[in-house]
């Protein structure tokens, strides 16, 4: 039986892939986005689908629609974007989730909140398990996002306890793939665009920081499985790839796959950047029967093809990595 599903942030990188998967499953999808970081080009291929509806809207304002499920992905997720207007970032996380939880309560919809590994801050527990409370600076430059997402999780659980809402929380770790914003400062997109342009690849610190990279198709599969769980499963559940790589290893792989002549250059590490980030996905394996299947090399090849096409079409910004890579 098809459902009517709302995806906030649906024109973004992850949201556009999620919309496509939900449509492929025969659902009616309402995509809501204010295009602060999302892009119309991400969902152009969906506009002719009669089951797809697009609405320009900011989730910090109430939304009155009839839906069966809500995926709340609305929030800028890279430091370049969320630090541009930090007050608005916090409002999107906090007021936005209040509005979506209120909508879910009114129409008795299930809701999934897209949280983040940033709730763990610069972790002193490795790998990160869901019962770790994190090591977060509440007054730093990243706090608008980190603490906004932590508060959003608090609100979800309070709505579950107080209003018996059917709600889910997933904590998303580093994700990459086609339709990433070409100049959002994320490490994969920065490195790929720099390599394709043959300019220096900028690493921060000595490149020994570690990250775990999950391909977007794997992430979307996990989100859909989480939404399908029963009312008793709220989470939070870590979603990411537990295979760990250093930032320097990632850069070297991208140089190899692109055949680039780019050189690696090193800059000082920014404040509050975590040195390690790796999910413990034991709970996802147990509850969702899920684990990532796309190898880093295979996912990078698809991502490189996307950016190569974007650059040749002239759709990418002029400068690659104009700001620091979000590690």
Segment 91-111, tens digit of pLDDT: 999 999 999 999 999 999 999
How far apart (Å, rounded) are the C-alpha atoms in residues 194 and 49? Answer: 35
Residue with tokens 């459902």: 3
CATH for 4-173+216-239 is 3.40.50.720
- Average pLDDT of the chain, as a whole number: 90
Residue with tokens 């680039």: 260
pLDDT tens-digit readout, 141-154? 888 888 999 999 99
pLDDT at 275: 72
DSSP strand E in the chain: where? 4-8, 28-33, 52-56, 69-72, 110-116, 167-172, 175-176, 201-204, 210-212, 214-215, 237-239, 244-246, 264-267
Whole-number percent of the chain with pLDDT over 90: 71
Residue with tokens 């007050």: 87
* Assigned architecture for domain 176-212+242-276+294-313: Alpha-Beta Complex (3.90)
Task: List, by residue number, the catalytic residues.
Answer: 145
pLDDT tens-digit readout, 238-263? 999 999 889 999 999 999 999 999 99
Does the pLDDT of residue 322 top 60, yes or no? no
Q: Please report, for the chain, the start and end positions of each structural domain, with discontinuous segments joined by +.
A: 4-173+216-239, 176-212+242-276+294-313
Confidence of residue 271 (pLDDT cuts 50, 70, 90): low
Confidence of residue 316 (pLDDT cuts 50, 70, 90): low
How far apart (Å, rounded) are the C-alpha atoms in residues 298 and 301? Answer: 5
């Amino acid at each position: 039986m098809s459902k009517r599903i709302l995806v906030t942030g649906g024109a973004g990188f992850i949201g556009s892939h999620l919309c496509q998967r939900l449509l492929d499953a025969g659902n009616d999808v309402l995509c809501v986005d204010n295009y602060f970081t999302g892009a119309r080009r991400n969902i152009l291929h969906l506009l002719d689908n009669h089951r797809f509806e697009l609405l320009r809207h900011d989730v910090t304002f109430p939304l009155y629609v009839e839906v069966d499920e809500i995926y709340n992905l609305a929030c800028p997720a890279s430091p370049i974007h969320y630090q541009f207007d930090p007050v608005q970032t916090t409002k999107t996380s906090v007021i936005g989730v209040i509005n979506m939880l209120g909508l879910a309560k009114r129409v008795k919809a299930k809701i999934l909140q897209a949280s983040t590994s940033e709730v763990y801050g610069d972790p002193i527990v490795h790998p990160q398990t869901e019962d770790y409370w994190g090591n977060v600076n509440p007054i730093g430059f990243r706090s608008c996002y980190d603490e906004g997402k932590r508060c959003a999780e608090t609100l979800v659980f309070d709505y579950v306890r107080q209003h018996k809402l059917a709600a889910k929380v997933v904590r998303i770790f580093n994700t990459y793939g086609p339709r990433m914003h070409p100049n959002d400062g994320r490490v994969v997109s920065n490195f790929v665009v720099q390599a394709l342009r043959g300019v220096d690849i900028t690493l921060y610190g000595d490149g020994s920081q570690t990250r775990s990279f999950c391909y977007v198709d794997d992430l979307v599969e996990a989100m859909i499985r989480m939404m399908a769980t029963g009312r008793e499963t709220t989470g939070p559940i870590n979603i990411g790839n537990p295979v760990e790589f250093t930032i320097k290893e990632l850069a070297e792989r991208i140089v190899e796959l692109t055949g680039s002549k780019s050189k690696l250059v090193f800059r000082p590490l920014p404040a509050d950047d975590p040195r390690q980030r790796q999910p413990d996905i034991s709970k996802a394996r147990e509850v969702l029967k899920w684990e990532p299947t796309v190898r880093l090399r295979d996912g990078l090849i698809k991502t490189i093809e996307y950016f190569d096409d974007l650059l040749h079409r002239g759709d990418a910004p002029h400068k690659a990595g104009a700001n620091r890579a979000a590690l």
